Amino acid sequence: MIEYLKGAIVSLTPTNLVIECGGVGYDVNVSLTTYSAYQGKSEGLIWITQLIREDAHLLYGFSTKEERTLFGQLTSVSGVGPTTARLILSSYGPQELAALITMGQTDALKAVKGIGLKTAQRIIVDLKGKIQLETAVEDMPAARTAAGTAALGTLAIGEEAVSALKMLGFADPAVRKVVKSILSEDSTLAVEDIIKRALRML
C-alpha cells in the first residue's frame, strides 16, 4: 500500500491533485481542506489512502495524517463511502468536524449531500470519543484567499467552483444556480469558500 507521495505538483483543482513522483504522475482525489493546503505550492508530500476495486484503483490524498485518519474513520461507518466522506471533509475542516461529532450536531452532518438523519446519528455514535487531532488545522490565510481571487477573477472562480461541484456529483443546472446566487451576494469569495457554501445549499 502507498503511505505517501512526495514530488512535484503538476496540477491542482478543488477535487483532484496530480503529483509527479519518479517520472510517474498520480491522480489523487482530495478534499477542499487539502486543496487549500497545497494552493500555490510547486511540490509537496501528500498522505495516501488507496482503495482497490475490481474496476479501479483510487487514491485519496490528505495534507495531514489527521485528515486521513478521519477519512478512514468516516468510511468505517455503515452508509458512508469514500465519496460521501470526501464531501463531509470538504464541508467541514478536521477540527470543525471533530467538534461537531463531539457535540452531537446531527443537523450539521445532515446538511451534507447523502447524509440522512440515521447516518448522521451513526457517525456520532460510532466516532464520538474516538477522534483525536494532534495537528492544528488552520483556515486558509485571508491573504492567500485574496490573492487567489484577484488572480483568477470572479468569472473564472465561478466556473472552477461549478466544475468541482459537478465532479462531486451535483447536476449542472442546480450547481450554476447556487454558485450564481453565492457570487451575487459576495463576489470576493475564493473557490473553496464558494464550494463550501454551495455544499450546504445543494
Per-residue pLDDT tens digits for 143-153 = 334 444 443 45
pLDDT given at position 154: 60
CA distance 34 to 67: 9
pLDDT given at position 62: 96
CA distance 57 to 123: 26
Element of type H or E holding 137? none
CATH 2.40.50.140 residue ranges for the chain: 4-62
Residues of the chain with confidence (pLDDT) below 50? 135-152
Q: Is 91 left (phi over 0), alpha (psi -120 to 50) or beta?
A: alpha
The DSSP letter of residue 186 is -
pLDDT given at position 69: 92
CATH 3.40.50.300 fits 4-62, yes or no: no
Fold of 142-199: Helicase, Ruva Protein; domain 3 (1.10.8)
CATH 1.10.150.20 residue ranges for the chain: 65-127
Model's pTM, two decimal places?
Answer: 0.71
The CATH homologous superfamily of the domain defined by 65-127 = 5' to 3' exonuclease, C-terminal subdomain (1.10.150.20)
Q: Smallest Cα–Cα separation from 78: which of 133, 127, 132? A: 127
